[in-house]
Copies of this chain bind each other. A is one copy, B any other.
């Protein structure tokens, strides 16, 4: 099953990449109030059903894909 994980810096956590993007967009003439940059991870997971796939990907997030102290994650599983 295909899973998409969005990993984002939690609110209040410093995001230098986002600040750089926001400032660069400003210099290019775009009106942007706030920019935050995170990761999107697409995975093809071996699992019997969507619930099992989601549980496995949650484990992957806790162990490797995200740092739960400073990042939040969101998982979407598609067939």
Contact = CB atoms under 8 A, between A and B. Distances in A.
What number of copies of this chain does the assembly contain? Answer: 2
Interface in A19-51: 21, 24-25, 28, 30-46
A75 interface: no
B46 A31 contact: yes
A14 interface: no
Nearest to A9: B42
A43 B32 contact: yes
Interface of A: 6-8, 18, 21, 24-25, 28, 30-46, 56, 59-60, 63-65
Given A21-B64, A31-B46, A32-B43, 12 more contacts: A8-B40, A21-B41, A21-B65, A25-B60, A28-B60, A31-B56, A33-B45, A35-B42, A35-B43, A35-B44, A38-B39, A39-B39
